[in-house]
Structure 1
Amino acid sequence: MRALWTDANGLSKPPTGQLDLMQIIHALGFVQLDTIQVISRAHHHILWSRNQNYREPMLDKLLRNREIFEHFTHDASVLPMEFLPMWQRQFRRHKEKIDRSGWYKNMLDEAGRQAIIERITDEGALSTHAFDTKVQGKKEMWARPPHKLALDYMWYSGELATCHRVNFTKFYDLGTRVFPKRLLSENLSDEEQIDRLCDAALQRLGCASVGEIQKFWDAVDQKEVREWLARREDQVSPVEIIGADGAGNQAYAFYDIEEQLNSLQRPTSRLRILNPFDPMIRDRNRIERLFGFEYRIEMFVPAKKRKWGYYVYPILEGDKFVGRIEIKADRQKSDLNVLQFWPEPKVKWTAKRYEKLRQEIGRMARFINVENINYQVEIA
Structure 2
Amino acid sequence: MTEELTLSQLRFLTLESQGLTKPYPFGKGKNAVLRALEHLGYLQIDTLSVVERAHHHTLWTRIPDYKAEYLDELVEEHKIFEYWFHAASYLPIKDFRFALPQMVEVKQSKTHYYNADPKVLKYVLDTIRGEGPKRARDFENETKKVGSWWSWKPTKIALERLFLQGDLMITGRNGMQKTYDLTENVLPNTIDTALPTELEFAEYLVKTYLKAYGFTTVKQITHLKTGELIRKNVDIVLKSMLQEGTIKQVNIENMPSVFVNESSLENSLNKTSSDIHILSPFDNSIIHRDRIKQFFNFDYKIECYTPKEKRQYGYFCLPVLFGDTFIGRVDCKAHRKEKEFEIIHLHIENTSIEIELWKESFVERMKSFATFNGCNTIKLTKVSPSKFTNKIRPLF
TM-score (norm 2): 0.84
State how far apart, in whole Å, the 2-side matches of 1:216 and 1:261 are.
29
- Counterparts of 1:1-380 in structure 2, within 5 Å, are 1-15=10-24, 18-19=28-29, 20-96=32-108, 98-101=109-112, 103-105=113-115, 107-109=116-118, 111-132=119-140, 145-186=153-194, 188-215=196-223, 221-235=230-244, 239-242=249-252, 246-262=253-269, 265-267=271-273, 269-377=274-382, 378=389, 379-380=392-393
SS in 2 for 1:93: helix
8 Å Cα contact 2:78-2:93 kept in structure 1: yes
SS in 1 for 2:110: helix
Which shifted more, 83-92 or 190-199? 190-199
Query: Post-superposition shift, 1:369?
Result: 2.4
Identity %: 28
- For residues 205-262 of structure 1, the C-alpha deviation after alignment (integer angstroms, 9 at most, x for no partner) is 32222111122989983233223334434236663443xxx42213323444532433
State how far apart, in whole Å, the 2-side matches of 1:174 and 1:18 are.
32
Pairs aligned (count): 362
Pair 214,124 (structure 1): closer, same or farther in 2 beyond 3 Å: same
SS in 1 for 2:191: helix
Which shifted more, 9-18 or 168-177? 9-18
**RMSD across aligned positions (CA):** 2.5
- For residues 93-114 of structure 1, the C-alpha deviation after alignment (integer angstroms, 9 at most, x for no partner) is 3434x4352x433x222x2211
- For residues 16-64 of structure 1, the C-alpha deviation after alignment (integer angstroms, 9 at most, x for no partner) is 8633211111111111000101110000000000011001121111111
Query: Post-superposition shift, 1:117?
Result: 1.0
Query: Post-superposition shift, 1:289?
Result: 0.8
- For residues 308-355 of structure 1, the C-alpha deviation after alignment (integer angstroms, 9 at most, x for no partner) is 111000011122111111110011111101110111234334235222
8 Å Cα contact 1:15-1:49 kept in structure 2: no
8 Å Cα contact 1:328-1:339 kept in structure 2: yes
Matched AA of 1:176: E
Matched AA of 1:333: E
Q: 2:147 maps to which residue? A: none
State how far apart, in whole Å, the 1-side matches of 2:347 and 2:50 are.
18
**Structure 1: segments with no counterpart, 5+ residues:** 135-143
State how far apart, in whole Å, the 2-side matches of 1:124 and 1:184 are.
25
Pair 187,222 (structure 1): closer, same or farther in 2 beyond 3 Å: closer
TM-score (norm 1): 0.88
SS in 1 for 2:91: strand
State how far apart, in whole Å, the 2-side matches of 1:165 and 1:332 are.
22
- For residues 245-286 of structure 1, the C-alpha deviation after alignment (integer angstroms, 9 at most, x for no partner) is x42213323444532433x7432x221111110011000010
8 Å Cα contact 1:32-1:75 kept in structure 2: yes
Query: Post-superposition shift, 1:8?
Result: 1.1
Matched AA of 1:359: E
State how far apart, in whole Å, the 2-side matches of 1:231 and 1:157 are.
32
State how far apart, in whole Å, the 2-side matches of 1:333 and 1:174 are.
41
State how far apart, in whole Å, the 1-side matches of 2:351 and 2:365 are.
22
Pair 63,89 (structure 1): closer, same or farther in 2 beyond 3 Å: same
Pair 347,175 (structure 1): closer, same or farther in 2 beyond 3 Å: farther
